[in-house]
Structures are given as C-alpha cells and as structure tokens.
Chains A and B, each alone.
Chain A
Amino acid sequence: MIFSYNWLQLFFDKKLPKPEKLAEVLTMHSFEVESLSRKGKDLVLDIDITPNRASDCFSHLGIAREIAAILKYKFKTPAFVKTTAGKKNFIKIEVKDKNACPRYTARVIADVKVGDSPKWIKERLEICGLQPINNVVDIANYVMLELGQPLHAFDFDKLEGKKIIVRFAKKEEKITTLDNQKFDLNNNILVIADSKKPLAIAGIKGGKKAEIDKNTKTIVLESAIFDLRIIRRASRLLNLKTDASWRFEHGLDPNLTEQAINRAAALIQEMTGGKPVQGLNDFYPKKVFPKKIKLDLDYVEKLLGTKIPQKEIIRILKSLNFQCRENSSRWVMLEVPTFRLDISIPEDLIEEIGRIYGYEKIKPIMPLSSLIPPKKNENIFWQDFIKNILKELCFTEVYNYSFISEKDTEIFLNSTRTVLVEIENPMSVEQKYLRPTLLINLLKNIKNNIKNYEEMKLFEIGKQYKKDSRMGVDEKAILSVVIIKKDKRELFYELKGIIDLLLNKLGISDIWYDEYKVSFEDVKLWHPKKCAEIKIRGEKIGFLGEISPNILDALNIKKDVCAFEIDFERLEKLCSEESEYQPISLFPAAVRDLAVLVPKKVKVADVLNQINISGGALVRDVDLFDMYEGKELPEDKKNLAFHIVYQAKDKTLSSKEIDEVHNRIIKNLEKNPIWEVRK
C-alpha cells in the first residue's frame, strides 16, 4: 500500500526521521518498505503490509502507531464530530443476517453542498492512487486511507421507503455500479438495499441508484463490518476487487466503524457545511470486547533465545496499545486492543515484543542437543549413486518440466491418454498435463539441442504421473535415459551395455532382456522390433528400445535414438552395496576364437548359452566380437565370432586340455544341423 510521508507526519508533533531512515526502521521492525519516491512536495512510501496486519495497518493511523512504538514518539489522534444539529435521526436500518453484517453504523447529514474537495484532500488522495470525485466521496475515501475503515455515502432522497436493508441479493436481481458496470447478482452476494432495490454490493462497490451528485442535499453515511468470507466469495464471483473489498476480506475491527463515521462527519461538516443529524444509527448486536492473554515471561526468553527485561517488555506492549492489567515477576496479563485481529496467543505477543525490541539483538547460540546421527535416506543415496555412475559414463543430467502440452500428447501417445492427469488451471497450453513418462521431454531435449550437438547422452531421474483409481494420482520416480550418436550401429547394444554396467555397479547381476510381444501402453513411442523388457530375477523393472521412426520424423530428428526407462522405486529395492572381491587366478588364461554361421533369426543368446553349457567351468568368459551379415554370406545367414577365454582356478591349462573343451563346444554347436562352425 502507498503511504504519504507528510500525512504520517500529521500524527506527530515531533519531526519524523528522514524518509530513508524511516523506511529502514519500518523495514526492520514492522513491514518491508519496497520503494521510496518523491511526488511533488511529498514522499511516497510503498509498504508491503503483511496480510495478518491488514485489519489495522492498511491505514495511515496504523503505520503511525507502529512508528510511535518503534521510535518512542507521542502520537495524536485526528478530530471527530462533536456538534450535531437539532433534527432527529430519520432513517431506519434493517440487517437481515447479523452474521453476515455484525455491525452497521449510519449517520444522516443534512444540508450538504456537493462540490470539489479542497486541494489538500485531492492531493493526498492522488498521492495514494485514488481519483478525487466530489467532496463527499473524497472524504469517505480519505477516512478509509486515514483510519482503514471503508465508508459509503448514499443520496438520502433517492432511497425508496427511507430505509436501508442489509440482505442477500435475490435471484435475478441486477445492479449498475457507480462506474456503469452491470452485474447479475445471486443469493451468495450481500447487498445494501432500500425497500425495493439494491443500492450497493455490500463491502465492494456502490450502485448508480443512490449516487451522490451535485444536487444531493442529504446523505446517509455508512460505516459497517461484513463477514470476510462473504465479501471474499462475492468479490471472486463478480471478479471485482476494490479498495473496500480488499480491506473487508482481510477483516476489520468492529469497534472502528463509529470512530470512522464520526471522523467523516466532522470533515463533511467542515468542508461542505453539512449538518450531522442527532443520533447515530448503530446495529451492533454482539459487541466485541478486548481479548485477554496471559504472557509467561520465561517463555518469551525461551522462544526468542534472548533475555529482554520485563520493563522493556511492558513498555513495548503498552506502546502498541496493549493494556497491562496485572503483572507479577513471572507473567503479565494483557488486554489486546480490538483492532489487533491478528493477536490471539502468547506467541503473537512474543512476535510483537521481538520485532519492536529488534531481531538484530538476538545473538546466535548453537542449539544443545543429543548426538542423534541423521538417518540415511536410501532413496537419495541410490539416486546419487546412479547419477554418479551415469556421469562417469559421460551422461549429462537434465531437469525437465513436469508438464507436457496437448500437442505432445498427439505426437507421443495414443492409448495412454486415459491415464493422463490434467491440470485444472494450467499456466499455459504447454503445461496442460502432468508428464506420463519422462521420455517425451527428453526427446524434445534432443530435438532442441541437435543444432549444437551431433551426439548426446542425457538422463533424468524424476516423477511420472498417471491417473489411478485408488489414489487419484500415481506418481512414480523413474530413471530415464536417451542416447543419439553419429555412428548409429549397435546403439541398442551400447545402451544395453550401459544398463548391464549400471545394474552391476548397483550389485545386481541377474539381468534378463525379454522380447516384448504384447501391445504395450506406450507402444507408439518405441520401435516395434527393437525393444525389450528389462527384467531382474524375473521381475520387470523397465523398458529399453529404439524410438519409433514415426516419432523421430515428427521431431525432425534424422538419426536413430535409443532410450530406456527404469522404475526407480523397484530398482532401489534390489540395489546392494555389498560386493565381494573375486580372487584373481594365479594361472594364465588362453583365448581361442570361434565363428558360427547361423540363420539370421537365431538369437545370439541361444548360441552363447550353448557355448557356456558345453564349456563348463573352464570357460571364464565368452565375448561376441563380431556379428556380420553380408554379400559374402549365404542369404538369411549371419556370422557370429566369439573370443572364448579359458582359465582354471587351480592350474595352468595345457593346450591339450583346452583343445578338448573347445572341440566339445564345436561338437555341441554342430549338433544343430543348420548351425555351421567355421574352422
């Protein structure tokens, strides 16, 4: 909110500190002063009032009270109406719902001459960002800025039935506001009406019907309190926010209405020659009295961690208008002024004491506490472990948005649309859904970086989100990896090697890749042939494959892209830090090569299995070093070439022993009539 430096000065006889100094003390003890700027002869302070203090500090009076407490200044209150004319009050007030309107105060002022306001009122309104209209309206606004209570003035002669009724609007009732906007009302919206029609949307905006104009002679001033939730709801329903609605929806002191209306009456009397009529209309069925709080002085010290003398505590609270009713050496009984809607528990008082005393006086003290070692977070531990391995393997970690767009769903998904979680109020069309897989954004990363990079290895560990009938949304941590290379040969196998290595480092050895047969929910993403399920001990933990050429076309990526996804939560359960050293054989190893010509459809795994089974314990390792299909070979055939490493744990193998095993392998391979070992 905007405050005028000169206006604040009016509350004090003593000169205020320089504006910069004032801004600093307010920032350190009350609210942040966001900016300070000159406007004519005045200075404008833009103060960020916290919402809990809206009830008393959306006003110059409130800020002046803060200044008085911080700087120990004496502080004056403005003048209120004293004299009233002989006529008796002649308006009737009827409040239909005392919960919606706990207090309604009205005053009639006769013989008003509507015209321009004096220069000083206009100037102050303008400095605070309000447009001057006429003297009556301006004074109502002036008092709102001064004391915080929104006021409204009606033209008495325009009221039908000389009556004001506070009620909820009827169905299909309409109102035209002062600025000529038309609103349809409903029974959730509270209105101020005469005996026939709504005159104003309660607490939000006045209507055209009883507008003050230059012919107005008699006015009804309103100063009321409305339920903050009702005002907030109406303001949202109508999408209408005003200086008044803003104050009402934060809550106001019910005891302020009378003060404010009398202040406005005094100014109207002075500026317009109006004559306030005898008597105040005041509907106030349930008077609000000050709360009492007992403050334990030891607790003040215990919570702030610093000792503040009792005398100082009492001085601070008194300077903020708290009444000290009783006190002992251990506690103080305090009465909270009703304008402090934010204070209800001892901790609230401790905040008041602390901030006025000065938080800078709280010196650091390391806590005394038992030596309880922090718990290891397995989830974070394994995430970090995996990130480190992938980093060693030259991968770059990305953090993508958790969202995808409508367009993304069209490109990447088909059947999965039903599991998509949609955002009710997305910030943009790009962020309409939560990502059902991390791959969508990773593939877009490749597309976006490809102008600068030919090869990329990216990974992300993050949440994917799917609709779930039981929990609403199933969010799951996923490890997702994509890779694109200049040389696209063996990309799939490279990624498979990365998975093997990664899993081995996580202490997992029983890895199996299963051909993927049935229709998979994300099938649109993957190449229909070059994909596999990743299984550990028979349990599916992820999926590996080439990205479907259709998708790559749509993204205009000209090279093959391979990817895998692993369910991180399942993986984590299988990880182990335990690993045992394998003794290095003291005896030499011998390598023999072996080439087999087999039909293309034969799986390498089948050949490998045969070699391992036939070779037995002496085969330490089998390594496929070449896989060839081509012109020199019969059609439908491929040549597989292996290094076989022979080694025993307890002796040096003689060449005769090796030949024996090697020949047994060859013999067994050739038992299959269409497999041909090339010697």
Chain B
Amino acid sequence: MDIKAIKKEAEKDIDSAKNLKELDDIFKKYLGKKGEITRILRSLKDLSEKQKKETGMLANKIKKELEINIKEKKYVLQSSDWLASKFQDIFDITVPSKKLLVGHLHPITIVRRKVEEIFQQMGFSVVEGPEVETEWYNFDALNIPKDHPARDAWDTLWLKPESQKLLLRTHTSPVQIRYMEKNQPPLRIIAPDRVFRHEATDASHDVQFYQLEGLMIGKDISAANFVAVIQEFFQRFFNKEIKIRLRPSFFPFTEPSFEMDINCVNCQGKGCSVCKQTGWLETLGAGMVHPEVFKACGYNPKFWQGFAFGVGLDRLAMMKYKINDIRLFYSSDLRFLEQF
C-alpha cells in the first residue's frame, strides 16, 4: 500500500478509537514492531539510494505525526469523563472580576515617598520640625523683617494668645534653620511637610498643604549645581525628559532668587489649557541662600554658599495624577482615595 494511503487510514482509525485498548491496537497496527510504517522503514534497505532517501524521510515524518496524534488522542480518552462534563458547560469569561479589598495610601504619602527616594539617592537627608513655630524661625531668621511688606507674601495663621507670638509655619524653611543651627556644613537636606496659610481656598489654594523644601550647602555649591540637581529630580519624578527654565524672582532668604518653570507635562510644552498656552508650568521657587540667613544660623557666609528651593507636594501630586482640585486631598472622600 502507498505510504500516504496508510497515513490517511491510520488517522481515520485514531479518530474513531473509542477507548485506550483500541488506541493501543492502532498503535501496534501501524507503529508496532510489525506495524505497517515499521515495515516500510525496514524495507528501505532494498531500495535504490535515491528512493531510500525519499521514502525514508517521508516515512519518518509520518511516524512522528502519528505518534503525536496518538498521544493527543490518548490524553482526550483519559480525560473524557471531566471533558464531557466540564467542557460542555457554558463558561463566560466576561463576567466582571471579583472585587478584592485592599488598603490605600494617601496620594501625598505616595508622592512624598517618591520625592524622598529620589533625593536620598542624591545624598539628601530628610529632616522634620514642628508645625507650631515662633516668629524667629518662620520669619526673622529667614531675613523677612518685621513690619515689612515682604512679610505680606506669607499670610499667616496666628495662635491665641497673641502675646505668645506663636504661629502655624507658613513654609518648611524653619526646619532648615533648626537643622543648620545644630549641624555644620557641608549639608544636603530636604524637608517635606505640612504648612499653613491664611488664604482663601479655591481649586489651587488651601489653608493647609505640603511643601518640599531643599537645601544644599558647601564651599562652592552654585546656581549651575542647582539646575543640574533639580532637573535630575524632575526627570526622575515624571519619568521623562523635562526642560526647565529659571526666571528672576524675589525671596528675602535667597539672593539671587529664581522662579523655576518646567515644560508643561500635559502637552509637552506645545501649549494647552493646563499651561495657559505658554508651554510652561510655574513650579518652584529657589535661589542662593542669603548671607543673612547664614548669619542667623551661626555660619560664616564667607566660607559657605548653596542653594535652597521650595515646591508644593500637592502641586506635584496634582501634576502627576492630573488632579484639578487641591481640596480633594483633604476631603477624605474614599471615592477619591481608593484610586491610589
């Protein structure tokens, strides 16, 4: 019989096998010691070289195919019981996933951790200080004089009784002052924490928010160093190429002072509603630490210089998650918090 005809017949037999015994017989019939395929393979020696090669290849190929067919059929026959019952059931994979309970960290915690991680990798320590502050730490030591319009930039919540002159810190700069009083340069710190302002609330302002302030002091820490460190931070924070630009600004505690914009993370700087078509987002205030601040902390400004910066953590979180209202952070609305 023609080898291809044998193959066809064998396939038909395998297909119609009803149990393992029948399948075993089919195996013997074709692939057993005296099986038909085996016989053909054995008879090869009588053929010419050319025929030997052609027929041999074909027979071996068919042998392998039949072996696989038999294996598959064997698996089907062995499983027939549960196959019959389960595989015929209708199973709908589009039924919605089961909702599992998990906990959630606050988005500001998540952003704060990310920020801390990036700065720690660059050698910055994370420091903290009290929320209730004195005028000295919040203003005087930062070269913000009493009875001066410069103070108006920080609308302050004061505590009763007025005579104590205690306030809720308006920035985390006092943390830096406290740290400098106790530590000698060179130093690298960040202070991410809660601050307060006496300010009317709207989608981008609230009476409390989180500020990240940073400070690096050394013998020759320059504005160019600031640009490099802060650009590195933003690129790691947003996981993409970020362009930054510095503009002149004024803070009593830095000289020179900068306002820093980053290219809009929403439109990549092309111009959109988020950046008011400018392509830039005003993000951060910074500058070179003012000599008066060094003096207030007991450092000699002749020997030390460095940069300081401040940025809202809420604002970073809003950019990262495209949140449009700062008040959501303090609403404790679980429908909001469960998204993080």
Expressed in whole angstroms, the Cα–Cα distance for A587 and B258 within the complex equals 70
Is the C-beta of B120 less than 8 angstroms from some C-beta in chain A?
A: yes
Q: What are the interface flags for B241-256 relative to A under an 8 Å C-beta threshold, 1 for contact and 0 otherwise? A: 0000111111000011
Tell me which residues across on chain A come within 8 A of B220, comparing CB atoms.
302
Residues of A within 8 A of B296 (CB): none
Interface of chain B: mostly helix, strand, loop or mixed: mixed
- Residues of chain B within 8 A (CB-CB) of A27 are 247
Query: Is B203 an interface position by the 8 A CB rule?
Result: no
Question: Complex Cα distance A427/B157, Å?
Answer: 8
- Name the segment of B1-9, B39-47, B221-229 touching the other chain: B221-229
The answer to the question of B330 belonging to the interface, with a C-beta cut-off of 8 Å to chain A, is yes
Report the nearest B residue to A367, measured CB to CB.
B225
Q: Nearest chain B CB to A474's CB is how many angstroms away?
A: 9
CA–CA, A369 to B250, complex, Å?
A: 28
Contact with B along A432-462 (1 / 0, CB 8 A): 0010000001000100110011001110001
Residue-wise interface mask of B (42-79) relative to A, using a CB-CB cutoff of 8 A (1 in contact, 0 not): 00000000000000000000000000000000000000
Q: Report whether B228 and A398 are in contact in the complex, using a CB–CB cutoff of 8 Å.
A: no
Given contacts A402-B196, A452-B334, contact A31 B248 (CB under 8 A): yes
Q: CB distance A304 to B126 under 8 Å? A: no
Judge whether A249 and B149 touch: CB under 8 Å.
Answer: yes
Give Cα A399–Cα B111 distance, bound, in whole angstroms. 14
Q: A424-B160, A426-B157 are known contacts. Are A250 and B149 too (CB-CB below 8 A)? A: yes
With an 8 A cutoff between CB atoms, is B194 at the interface?
A: yes
Interface size on A, residues (CB 8 A): 87
B157 touches A351 (CB 8 A): no
Task: Find out whether the CB atom of A379 lies under 8 angstroms from the CB atom of B128.
Answer: yes
- Residues of chain A within 8 A (CB-CB) of B207 are 401, 403, 427, 431
Q: Chain A residues near B329 (CB, 8 Å)?
A: 399
Residue of B nearest to A342 (CB): B250
Within 8 A of A (CB), among B60-106: 101-106
A30 CB contacts on chain B under 8 angstroms: 248
Given contacts A303-B222, A360-B246, A427-B198, A394 and B147 within 8 Å (CB-CB): no
| Contacting residues, chain A, for B334 (C-beta < 8 A) | 396, 449, 452-453, 456
In angstroms, Cα B256 to Cα A30, docked, is 12
Identity of the chain A residue whose Cβ is nearest the Cβ of B200 in the assembled complex: A427
B131/A402 in contact, CB under 8 A: yes
Contact assessment for B126 and A380 in the assembled complex, using a CB-CB cutoff below 8 Å: yes
A554 contacts partner chain B, Cβ-Cβ < 8 Å: no
Smallest Cβ-Cβ distance to A28: which chain B residue: B247
Q: Which parts of A132-168 form the interface with B (CB within 8 Å)?
A: none
Question: Within 8 Å of chain A (Cβ to Cβ): is B319?
Answer: no
- Docked-complex contact B188 and A475, CB < 8 angstroms: no
Residue contact B227 to A362, C-beta cutoff 8 Å:
yes
Known contacts A348-B255, A351-B256, A305 near B162 by CB under 8 Å: no
Closest residue of chain A to B151, judged by CB?
A: A51
Q: Is A345 an interface residue (CB 8 A)?
A: yes
Most buried by B among A372, A395, A423, A453: A423
Query: Does A29 lie within 8 Å of B248, measured CB to CB?
Result: yes
A448, B125: Cβ atoms under 8 Å? no
Contact A402 B208 (CB under 8 A): yes
Q: Say which residue of B102, B123, B149, B224 sits within 8 Å of A372 (CB atoms).
A: B123
Please name all residues of chain B whose beta carbon is closer than 8 Å to the beta carbon of A176 when the two chains form the complex: none
CB < 8 Å neighbour of A377 from B128, B130, B186: B128
State A390–B103 Cα separation when bound (angstroms): 7
Known: A354-B256, A392-B103. A51 touches B188 (CB 8 A): no
Question: In the complex, what distance in Å separates the CA atom of A362 from the CA atom of B229?
Answer: 13
Determine which of B186, B223, B227, B247 lies in contact with A32 in the assembled complex, contact meaning CB atoms within 8 Å: B247
In the bound complex, do residue A473 and residue B337 qualify as a contact, i.e. CB atoms below 8 Å apart?
no
Q: Are B223 and A305 in contact (CB under 8 A)?
A: yes
A475–B132 CB distance below 8 A: yes
Interface string of A560-598 (1 = CB under 8 A from B): 000000000000000000000000000000000000000
A448 lies within 8 A of B106 (CB)? no
Q: Is A519 an interface residue (CB 8 A)?
A: no
Q: Let me know if B159 and A423 touch, CB within 8 A.
A: yes
Q: Point out the residue from A304, A372, A400 that lies within 8 Å of B223, measured CB to CB.
A: A304
Q: Is A605 an interface residue (CB 8 A)?
A: no
Docked-complex contact B128 and A367, CB < 8 angstroms: no
1/0 contact trace for B328-340 toward A, CB 8 Å? 0110111101100
- Chain B residue numbers with a CB within 8 Å of A305 are 222-225, 227
Bound-state Cα–Cα, A52 to B250, Å: 7
**For residue B19, which residues in chain A have a CB less than 8 angstroms away from its CB?**
none
- Checking B123, B208, B225, B246 against A365 with a beta-carbon cut-off of 8 angstroms, the contacting residue is B225
Q: Which residues of chain A (390-424) have a CB below 8 Å from chain B?
A: 390-403, 421-424
Rounded to whole angstroms, the CA-CA distance of A449 and B124 in the bound complex is 39
Q: Which of A324-363 contact B (CB under 8 A)?
A: 345, 347-348, 350-351, 354-355, 359-360, 362-363
Q: Of B106, B128, B218, B291, which contacts A399 at CB under 8 A?
A: B106
Give B132-185 interface residues, CB cut-off 8 Å to A. 132, 147-150, 152-153, 157-160, 162, 164, 166, 168
With both chains docked as a complex, state the minimum distance between the C-beta of A251 and any C-beta of chain B, in angstroms: 9
The DSSP consensus for interface residues of chain A is mixed
CB distance from B159 to the nearest CB of A (A): 6
- A272 at the B interface (CB under 8 A): no
Q: A304-B223, A372-B123, A431-B207 are in contact. Are A391 and B104 (CB under 8 A)?
A: yes
A425 interfacial by beta-carbon distance below 8 Å: yes
CA distance A345 to B289 in the complex (A): 13
B246, A391: Cβ atoms closer than 8 Å: no
Residues of chain A with a CB closer than 8 A to B229's CB: 366-367
Residues of A near B16 (CB, < 8 A) are none
When chains A and B are docked, how far (Å) is the Cα of A35 from the Cα of B161? 42
Write out the residue numbers on chain A whose beta carbons fall within 8 Å of the beta carbon of B228: 364-367
The answer to the question of A463 belonging to the interface, with a C-beta cut-off of 8 Å to chain B, is yes
- Is B18 close to A, CB under 8 A? no
- B105 and A391 contact, CB distance less than 8 A: yes
- A374, B216: Cα distance in complex, Å: 12
**Closest Cβ neighbor of A473 among chain B residues:** B132
- Given contacts A374-B124, A377-B127, A394-B102, A51 and B149 within 8 Å (CB-CB): yes
The answer to whether A362 touches B223, judged by C-beta atoms less than 8 angstroms apart, is yes
Taking a contact as CB atoms under 8 Å apart, the answer to whether B101 and A394 are in contact is yes
**Residues of B contacting A475 in the complex (Cβ-Cβ under 8 angstroms):** 130-132
- Beta-carbon contact of B224 and A363 below 8 Å: yes
Say which residue of B123, B194, B256 sits within 8 Å of A373 (CB atoms): B123
A542 to B217, CA, bound (A): 41
B218 touching A377, Cβ below 8 Å: no
Quote the shortest CB–CB distance from A77 to chain B (angstroms).
25
C-alpha spacing A378/B319, complex, angstroms: 29
Which B residues lie within 8 Å of A473 (CB)? 132, 159, 166
Query: Is B259 interfacial (CB 8 A cutoff)?
Result: yes
Which of A395, A427, A453 has a CB less than 8 Å from the CB of B199? Answer: A427
Q: Mark A264-299, 1 if CB is under 8 A from B, else 0.
A: 000000000000000000000000000000000000
Q: Are A396 and B330 in contact (CB under 8 A)?
A: no
Query: Measured between alpha carbons, how far is A28 from B248 in the docked complex, in Å?
Result: 7
- Contact at B223–A397, with CB atoms within 8 Å? no
- Nearest-neighbor residue (CB-CB) of B102 within chain A: A394
The distance in angstroms between the C-alpha atoms of A561 and B330, with both chains bound, is 22
Known: A348-B255, A374-B120, A427-B200. A364 touches B102 (CB 8 A): no
Q: Determine the distance from Cα of A390 to Cα of B109 in the docked complex, in whole angstroms.
A: 13
Interface residues of A (CB under 8 A from B): 27-32, 50-54, 228-229, 232-233, 249-250, 302-306, 345, 347-348, 350-351, 354-355, 359-360, 362-367, 369-375, 377, 379-380, 384, 387, 390-403, 421-427, 431, 434, 441, 445, 448-449, 452-453, 456-458, 462-463, 465, 472-473, 475
Sample (7) of A-B pairs whose CB atoms are under 8 Å apart = A304-B223, A347-B256, A362-B224, A372-B188, A374-B119, A399-B106, A399-B332
The 6 closest A-B pairs by CB, nearest first: A305-B224, A305-B222, A351-B256, A50-B250, A391-B103, A364-B228
Known: A379-B128, A403-B207. 17 other contacts (CB 8 A): A32-B259, A51-B152, A228-B148, A303-B256, A305-B225, A347-B288, A359-B245, A367-B225, A369-B123, A372-B186, A380-B116, A396-B334, A397-B105, A421-B132, A424-B158, A424-B162, A427-B157
